[in-house]
């Protein structure tokens, strides 16, 4: 039995599973699923084994120049507590993140926080380090955090200004500084609360270990964009801005896509929100596999008030999602929306309780379902290994039906105008309510001198353990070898559209049917 670099599944049980371009001659049952053995190779390991690339069984029958190099995208899922080890390949826990190095200080950006819980997950020797936590809690929750923080004199709490009503500080990121003068950036989708790190599907982008700049270091685009975002917080984060500016971000193969609250005009019009995404995608060449037919998949855990027509979704936001450098050569992609159904939530690991983290108002669904339902797809993630772990992850990606990925965005931003912005004043002003942060990756970012054959492809949890990754494929022996960036999408392909009996999850209605935990929802 062969495994393929794809997570295509049968839509109705009658059609055979489609083979993809890469195969692995080893079954999942044969694998050693020790959680440490199936982790992505860490930086230190790679330094010790610089020539390690991949270990696909059967490759010996091919020429060396045709054997792919698999490059780490640096995008992972979080570990899910109640799933078996084989479903948690290429996944990270909070403990792992906090234990990567000897911490000196850290900056945390998030919406919700359980401070004592977070402190208990830090290494004991790191619990007294200087910590700044920027959060989005309000009213009684904000006051509760202030009181809780009294017991941690090393923790500084900041609640940023939100100049426009109904905005949120929704960004989720960590800036971890180590005692050896290195640092790491983590951009992710989980609140810093216990339930978000237990049985939900979450995503993480993790930078390489970053060194301080040498005198000759050239400032990278990643640094420019990240520092612009931190600067937007103003004086409260000035010292962190200065500290970050000392580091070299040139090894970060990703593009910052951020939102900052305000009404943006002039040169700032395309700096934030969906117009920032559009300006970046305007410079991205869509590969041949996605030119004739592709889809843009939006996957999220919350839906805002988008209006009674599809104007914002398909024309304004849709124009940003469809942008590319070679627009004239590409057929417009169709937009698909992956969002849990009522049955997805009921049968999940958490039951109805999972729905508390998937806010969607029934009144908005009633107004919007006539144009949203034809695009909606259920949360199906069997091959992805996350079928019963409800999504709090947010992703947007353009890809072919075969799993060739033109670009992939991991972000804190849900499907809402508050997060992405809406155009005003004849499209001369973009109004954004919330702080958001994400990273965009696409094949060209991983391009190496002399290598033309590079692709980004979806990989299932079944195949992931058999792919040994490297952080880069540079070297004279690799010049003619194809480069593949495997990326584990959180959902299955092909997508499964809503059926006539499928109902989008809405969190404000009673549910009398018993869930997987034997509970009802009042």
**Which residues are known binding-site members?**
172, 394
pLDDT recorded at residue 168:
98
pLDDT at 56: 32
CA distance 40 to 18: 27
Q: Which one, of 499, 497, 506, lies nearest residue 366 by Cα?
A: 506
> Which residues are known binding-site members for substrate?
172, 394
Walk me through the domains of the chain, giving residue ranges and CATH numbers.
Answer: 69-521 (3.30.870.10)
Distance CA 268, CA 263 (A): 9
- For residue 517, count other CB atoms closer than 10 A to its CB: 13
Q: Is 241 part of the annotated catalytic residue set? A: no
216, HSE (Cβ side, Cα atoms, 13 Å): 0
**Residue 188 falls in the annotated catalytic set:** no
- In what side-by-side order are the strands of the sheet with 436-441? 255-259, 436-441, 405-411, 395-399, 295-299, 334-338, 376-377
pLDDT per residue, tens digit, the chain (522 aa), is 333 343 333 333 333 444 444 433 333 333 332 333 223 334 433 333 333 333 333 333 445 567 888 999 999 999 999 999 999 998 999 999 999 999 999 999 999 999 999 999 999 999 999 999 999 999 999 999 999 999 999 999 999 999 999 999 999 999 999 999 999 999 999 999 999 999 999 999 999 999 999 999 899 999 999 999 999 999 999 999 999 999 999 999 999 999 999 999 999 999 999 999 999 999 999 999 999 999 999 999 999 999 999 999 999 999 999 999 999 999 999 999 999 999 999 999 999 999 999 999 999 999 999 999 999 999 999 999 999 999 999 999 999 988 999 999 999 999 999 999 999 999 999 999 999 999 999 999 998 766 778 999 999 888 887 887 876 655 555 567 889 999 999 999 999 999 999 999 999 999 999 999 999 999
Q: Which of 170, 188, 264, 274 is catalytic?
A: 170
CA neighbor of 67 nearest in space, from 46, 53, 80: 53
Catalytic residue among 54, 169, 188, 392: 392
Q: Contacts by 126-131 with C-beta closer than 8 Å and gap 24+?
A: 126/98, 126/102, 127/154, 128/154, 129/103, 129/104, 129/105, 129/154, 130/105, 130/106, 130/154, 130/156, 131/105, 131/106, 131/107, 131/155, 131/156
Residue with tokens 């108002």: 361
Q: What is the structure's pLDDT at 67?
A: 82
Round to whole Å and give the CA distance between 418 and 498: 26
Give the tokens for residue 489: 């999408």
The pTM for the full model equals: 0.88
């Amino acid at each position: 039995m062969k495994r393929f670099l794809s997570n295509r599944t049968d839509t109705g049980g009658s059609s055979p599973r489609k083979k993809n371009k890469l195969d692995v001659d080893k079954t999942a049952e044969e694998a050693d699923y020790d959680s440490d053995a199936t982790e992505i190779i860490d930086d230190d390991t790679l330094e010790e084994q610089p020539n390690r690339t991949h270990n696909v069984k059967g490759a010996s029958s091919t020429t060396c120049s045709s054997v792919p190099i698999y490059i780490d995208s640096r995008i992972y899922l979080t570990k899910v507590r109640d799933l078996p080890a084989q479903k948690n390949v290429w996944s990270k826990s909070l403990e792992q993140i906090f234990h990567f190095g000897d911490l000196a200080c850290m900056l945390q950006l998030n919406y919700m926080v359980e401070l004592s819980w977070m402190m208990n997950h830090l290494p004991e020797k790191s619990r007294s380090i200087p910590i700044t936590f920027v959060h989005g809690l309000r009213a009684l929750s904000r006051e509760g955090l202030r009181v809780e923080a009294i017991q941690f004199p090393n923790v500084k709490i900041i609640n940023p200004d939100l100049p426009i009503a109904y905005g949120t500080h929704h960004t989720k990121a960590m800036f971890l500084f180590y005692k050896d003068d290195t640092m790491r950036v983590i951009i992710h989708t989980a609140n810093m609360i216990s339930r978000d790190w237990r049985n939900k599907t979450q995503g993480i982008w993790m930078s390489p270990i970053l060194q301080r700049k040498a005198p000759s270091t050239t400032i990278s685009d990643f640094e420019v964009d990240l520092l612009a975002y931190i600067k937007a917080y103003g004086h409260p984060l000035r010292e962190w801005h200065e500290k970050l500016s000392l580091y070299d971000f040139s090894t970060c193969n990703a593009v910052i896509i951020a939102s900052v609250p305000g009404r943006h005009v002039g040169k700032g019009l395309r700096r934030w929100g969906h117009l920032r995404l559009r300006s970046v995608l305007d410079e991205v060449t869509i590969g041949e596999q996605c030119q004739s037919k592709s889809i843009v998949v939006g996957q999220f855990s919350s839906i805002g008030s988008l209006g009674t027509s599809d104007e914002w979704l398909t024309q304004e936001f849709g124009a940003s999602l469809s942008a590319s450098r070679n627009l004239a050569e590409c057929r417009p992609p169709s937009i698909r929306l992956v969002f849990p159904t009522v049955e997805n939530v009921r049968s999940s690991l958490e039951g109805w309780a999972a729905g508390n983290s998937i806010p969607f108002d029934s009144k908005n669904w009633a107004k919007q379902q006539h144009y949203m339902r034809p695009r909606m797809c259920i949360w199906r993630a069997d091959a992805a290994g996350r079928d019963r772990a409800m999504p709090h992850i947010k992703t947007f990606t353009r890809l072919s039906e075969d799993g060739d990925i033109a670009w992939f965005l991991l972000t804190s931003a849900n499907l809402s105008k508050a997060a992405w912005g809406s155009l005003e004043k004849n499209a001369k002003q973009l109004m954004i309510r919330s702080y958001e942060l994400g990273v965009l990756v696409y094949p060209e970012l991983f391009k190496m001198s002399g290598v033309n054959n590079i692709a980004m492809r979806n990989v299932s949890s079944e195949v992931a353990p058999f792919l040994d990754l490297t952080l880069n494929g540079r070297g004279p022996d690799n010049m003619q070898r194809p480069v593949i960036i495997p990326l584990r999408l959180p959902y299955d392909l092909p997508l499964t559209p809503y059926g006539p009996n499928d109902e989008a999850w809405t969190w404000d209605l009673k549910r009398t049917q018993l869930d997987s935990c034997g509970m009802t929802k009042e």
